[in-house]
Every structure is written in C-alpha cells, then in structure tokens.
Structure 1
Amino acid sequence: MRPLDWAEIEGWETEDHAAAWAAFSVTADLFGWAGPTPAPGAEKALFQRFFAPFEIVPAGAAHYTGYYEPELEAARAPDARFCAPLYGPPEGVEPGALWHSRAEIVAGDLLRGREIAYVESALEAFLAQVQGSVRLRLVEGGCLRLGFAGKNGHPYRSIGAELIRRGVAPAGEMTPERIRLWAAENPGEVAGLLAHNPSFVYFRVLDLPADQGPLGAMGRPVTPGRSLAVDPEIVPLGSPVWVECPGVAPGLRIAQDIGSAIKGPGRGDLFFGSGPEAGRKAGAVNHAGRMIVLRRVA
C-alpha cells in the first residue's frame, strides 16, 4: 500500500462526508470503532484525524463492478408461470461446506422440499443468486425479502465471461440485459449455460423494513451508493474506501459486503440499491479505477 496525502485525493474536499459517516456508522461497532461521534459538519475532520489514506493498488489498476437487489414477481407455490424455485439451504450440511454442484443439484432435484418461493425463469433465479439477495412481489399479496444463507462450496464461474468466450458479445457489451437477450433467443441452451457455474447460493427469509437495503456480510443493511463489497483478506470489513470509477461519482464507500467473484487487491463491487433501475446502473459497471483504503491510525 502506498500512503497518500489527503490533497492527492481528487474530490475529497467536496465529498459529502456526513453521508459517508452515516453509512460508516451502520457497522462502526463491528469495525471496532470506539472514537467520538462527530458534530454536524465535523465528519471530514474526524475522518482525517483518525484515518490515513493508502492506495491499495496503482491508480487505474483497481477493478470495479456493480451489484443490486433485484425485485421480481413471485409466487409461494409453483404454476405454469412461476416455475423456477429459490431455495433455502439443505438440511444437515454445514454452511459453506462442499456439497453437490449446480448441475447435480438441478438434475437430481436435491433441494426438493427446501423451496421458499418461485420466480418466472431459471435465469432470473440464477441472477438473484449472483446478487445474493432479492425482493419478491408475491402474486398472493405482500413482499418477501430473501438474503444470502450460504452456498455449496464450489467456485463461482461467470456466465457472462463464458458468453464472451463463445463470441456472443465483446466484454464491453456483456451486461445482464445482454445475457437475458441471449437466453430469450436460445431457450434450449440456458440450462447448459447456467450449469457452467457450479456455485449455488441458498437463501433465507429476512424481516427487513421496505426502506432498508439487504443485509451485507456484516449482518447489517447495505446503503445504496455507499456500500462496497471487497475481499476481506485485503480490505477489513467496515473500512472506509475511496472509490474512483468511470461513470460513477468518486467518493467514500464503506466495505460492508463480500462476493464470490470479489477476490484480490483492488477488487470492488458497488451497491446501487434495489429494483430495475439499480440493476441497469450496476450492470453497466465493469471498469478499471482507483481504490484508496482509509486505515485507522489513532
């Protein structure tokens, strides 16, 4: 890590430090923060007093993507329209333990009886697993919030990367919408594409207010535009992180989540919120940028 002066961070002086501190405060106790609570307008000074900026990789070498909480129509019981299940974890299997691959789970119907709800397509169920959370608008009435409850222990493999390898579209055009278009044009090949990723995510029902984000890896709600998924082996969870990424306003994010594909120095996944518009914004992010971690110094 290369130490920086605050003056080397373009945009630091005009950042909304109060909003950043509000997001930091959600998980501050889990981060080990025992410092003072800033008076209104004193947030920047407190960041500068108790933290120091370090560039984690050379400028331009960080890699950012985006994630969001999908909102999908769903039903509690299957029918001709709602036929793709979202599952709870298998019984008797330790969280994170190596279990059957995605292809084996689907072929053997190995999670029968663990269905929570049903969405309209296997691809949307898959994409909800990739995001790790989902809001379900139930046709029976009401909303169901699901969050990450574990996975089968197999490595994550990107279906977008597989379609790029097949020549479906170049990397710069491979978004979730492009994947949906390919699936609509090639319905008979969808199951095989999904099986390319052996990882399988289980869900649990969450009791969350509608105005709160999904739970991150720290067990607290993540904040749109402020929360960031990182590799916790590199960036301690709860850390403030300065993000510079094309197409996204530079600013402070808080490392409050993790992801199967978020590994290594400079890797970050920006949380954009819930619903289709957040999904559009998240899907458009796949850029090199700058990552500066604020490390506690006092």
Structure 2
Amino acid sequence: MPRLALPSAEPCRVRRAGAAALGALALGLWTGSASPAAASPPAVVTAPAIAGARLAPVAYGALQGWGQDDAAAAFATFLESCAALGRAMPEAGPRSAPTLKAGLAHACAAARRLGPGRPLSPLARLFFEANFRPFRVIPDGRDEGFYTGYYEVEAEGAPAPTDAFSVPVYARPNDLVMESPTANSGPVGRRVDGKLVPYFDRAAIEDGALAGQGLEIVFLKDPVDLFFMQIQGSGRVRLPDGRVLKLNYDGYNGHRYLPVGRLLIERGIVPRDEMSMDRIRAVMEADPEAGRALRRENPSYVFFKALDLPPDAGAMGAQGVPLTAGRSIAVDRRLHSYGSPVFVEAELPLSAPGTAEPFRHLMIAQDTGSAIVGPARADIYFGAGREAGSRAGRIRHPGGFTLLVPRLAAPAAADARR
C-alpha cells in the first residue's frame, strides 16, 4: 500500500476514508488479496479474560492524549515485535495467547502492507484504530493500573582485572540448575550427591565461591554499578578501547530478591516519599562498607551473557527484540501476550522528583520481570544511562492501563478455546 499523505483540509473526511481503507485492507490480508470476498473473511477476536481484572470497552476518543501521541513511534516498535511473533517463547503465556497471537499476526500483516518506511503519525494512528479495539483493564479492588520504571545501566569496565577494575560480572555457572532459564521462577540450585541444594547466595559469591571457573565476562570499576545492573537485568559496559559490551540477564541463583530500598525506609535512613534509585546509590556511595553490607542483605544474584548488538541498541527484552525507550514495557507474562499494544495514561515525575507530568504513550509489551505481577502492572523502559536511571527510579505511580485487542484473526484461531 503506498504511503499516504494526510492533508489538513477536510480532516474528518480523510479520517473516515483512511479508516475505511485500512479496514478493508485488514479484511483482505487473510487471503493476500485486496478483496475480502475471495475467501472466508477473518473472524472477530473476542476480548481475553484476564485473571484478577475486568475489561471495559472504551472509545479511542476517551483516551487522554491518544490523538497527540506519536503513533508512528509506537508503530515502529510494534513492527519490532512483529518480527519476533513467530518465535517459540520458553515461558508459559496466558490461556488466551493462541487467539491473541493469531490476531497480532493478522495486524502485523496489515502493518507490513503499509510499506517499508515509517508512516506518518496520522496514518499510524488510523492503523491502530482499524486493527485494534481498546479495553481498559481494571484490576480487582482498584480503579487503575500501577507503573514503575527501568533502564539499562551504563558502566565502565575492562576485559581483564586490574586495581581499578576488580568487580567481576559472571556468566551463568555450569552447575546452576534452573527450571525456567529465562525467568526468576521455578526450582533453582545445584546438585550435590544427587540432591538439589540451594545455590550460593550473594555473600558467598562475592567471597569467591565462583572464582577460578572462568566465568568472568568483564570486570567493572564500581560494585554499585553491578548491583544496579543485576536489578535492571541488563547493562552496557564501556571498555578502555572505546568498545561497548552489551550484557543481558541469563539466570539467577534462586534466592529471594530483597529490595534494599525497603530496608532503608524501615530503618529510617530514607523517607518513603523520597525513595528512588538515586537515593539508594547515594547511600551506598557515601559509606562504601555500609553499602556493601546492605547489598549482601539481598541474597539474590543475577548472571549475564554478552550480546552481539550495536552499542546504541536498546536492552534486549524477553520477547527477543531490543527495547525502545518510552515505547517498550514489561508486563506479567502469565496474563499478557508479547507484542500487545497498551496505552498508558499517567501523571509521572519525568523531569524532577515531586513533579507530575502527563505521560500518554502507546507502548508495546516486549518484556517481563519477576516483580511485574498483576493484570494492570507494567514497567516502563526509559533507555540507558544515569539520566534514564534517575527518571526510572522515580516512577511508582498509578495510571490507566488500556489494552488494544486485535479486531480480526483467522476463523479457526479466533474461535479457539482460550
């Protein structure tokens, strides 16, 4: 389909014509023909049943900021998910995954028919409106969803240990047994005399339990950077020769994650309303020995793998695609399908602590996390570096969570039991 230019004159007529054209295109895509009469038309996809929430249909016009958002940016991120849609996911998804996946595949085919270039934002918006129906996800006992933020840590490192670079980043050990290698869940440990026993905790690993096994990927300068890299699950390490090493989550030791921010609040060191990742870092850097002791109270320990990605690529999400700052979110993989668009309506402290600025973005579900639990719970990816980290660390806020459900899919897939 040729790229359309949407003139400012007669916007309503253009909007109706564009929506009609995209709707007809969506119907015709199932047969590869522009005519839906050539074969059985696609069937309507019903809204999924999501445990712990009810779904309420809503008009696009009722979504605050929908018409002002950069839909073209969301479209580009959606296409990234389309490229991964056919891959088998190692994690168990929701019961509605087969139906939603078929609908997403149908929408992806429609997106590709728009051509290789990024469409203008008005056309991208019409694409989403023609191919998806919005449903507010209202969690039981609450009116809104809840958002946090995450980012990709940037750190200095070296390929070999020196006096300045002495903090090892470990690859996943060969003796680590994980039932689910891509998620912090399921039995984890090591086998001793045929029995699965708990794996080494953070303190034991920092004291040298894994030394001498050749597991060191790189050596960092700052142990606080490693700690935050483990919390975020990804990082980019700048080496002395200018190269950038991309790291991504590759398993954990099976011990429970204890938020050190909670400890600082409980001990009266940081007020609850001032808690952020910046405050945690400041506490650790002000007293390195106390910071080390605080980190060791969290027994969980994350292992990494190196990725062959361009230095400026986003962190790798669980869907297997690089994340896009301000457009990718992590969701509860048990309840949502990767590639699903979600419109976020929230007031967030984006520029500074204590502010409340509108965040109205169409996001794409491309990642997950052990702390991301619930039907309207999401983690917003803000990019890489200290500034992104400061912004992400301030986010613990409620907001509207609107799931865009595909309109159409193959008849057999749309009628499948969820």
Instruction: Flag structure 2 segments of 5+ consecutive residues without an equivalent.
Output: 1-54, 86-100, 182-186, 190-198, 349-357, 409-418
* 8 Å contact from structure 2 (residues 144, 398) kept in 1: yes
Given that 1:4 and 1:55 are in contact with CA atoms closer than 8 Å, whether structure 2 keeps it comes out as yes
Which residue, out of 285, 290, 296, partners 2:395? 285
Within 5 Å, which residues of 2 pair with 1:138-287?
138-247=239-348, 249-287=359-397
Q: 2: distance between equivalents of 1:137 and 1:107?
A: 26
Spell out, residue by residue over 1:9-62, the C-alpha distance to the aligned partner (whole angstroms, 9 max, x if none): 111122221111110110124154233126334322221222121222267532
> Percent of aligned positions with the same letter in both sequences?
40
Distance 2:346 2:63 in 1: 13
Among 82, 93, 96, the alignment partner of 1:28 is 82
Pairing 1:32-181 to 2, within 5 Å after superposition: 32-34=104-106, 35-37=109-111, 39=114, 40=119, 41-57=122-138, 61-95=144-178, 96=181, 97-99=187-189, 100=199, 101-110=201-210, 112=212, 113-181=214-282
Q: Distance in 2 between matches of 1:157 and 1:8?
A: 40
Give the conservation status (yes or no) of the 8 Å contact 2:172–2:215: yes
CA distance in 2, matches of 1:244, 1:21: 18
Change (3 A) 1:111 1:5: farther
What is the distance in 2 between the residues matched to 1:111 and 1:24? 42
Q: Counterpart of 1:90 in 2: which secondary structure?
A: coil
8 Å CA contact retained: 2:245, 2:311: no
TM-score, L = length of structure 2: 0.67
Runs of 4+ with deviation above 6 angstroms: none
> What CA distance in whole angstroms lies between the structure 2 residues aligned with 1:111 and 1:27?
39
Residue identity matched to 1:190: G
| Matched length | 298
User: SS state of the match for residue 28, structure 1?
Assistant: helix
CA distance in 1, matches of 2:335, 2:388: 27
TM-score, normalization by structure 1: 0.92
* CA deviation after TM superposition for structure 1 residue 79, in Å: 2.2
Cα deviation, 1:38-95, whole Å, max 9, x if unaligned, reads 6334322221222121222267532211111111111112222222111100014344
| Mapped partners of 2:297, 2:400: distance in 1 | 31
| Counterpart Cα distance in 2 of 1:108 and 1:118 | 14
Query: CA shift at 1:255, angstroms?
Result: 0.6
Task: Tell me how large the CA RMSD over aligned residues is.
Answer: 2.0
Who wins on radius of gyration, i.e. which is larger? 2
Find the aligned partners of 1:168 and 1:107 in 2 and give their Cα distance: 27
Measure how far apart 1:144 and its partner are: 0.9
Unaligned runs of 5+ in 1: none
Shift of 1:117: 1.0
Please list the CA deviations of residues 248-293 of structure 1 after superposition, one character each: whole Å capped at 9, or x if unmatched. 5211011101122211222111111111221121122121212111
* Structure 1 residue 185 displacement after superposition: 2.8
Amino acid at match of 2:256: P
Structure 2: distance between partners of 1:215 and 1:238: 14
CA deviations over 1:72-123 (Å, ceiling 9, x no partner): 1111122222221111000143444513232333345235421111112222
- Aligned residues of 2:169 and 2:304 also touching (Cα < 8 A): yes
> Does the aligned pair in 1 maintain the 2:326–2:361 contact within 8 Å?
no
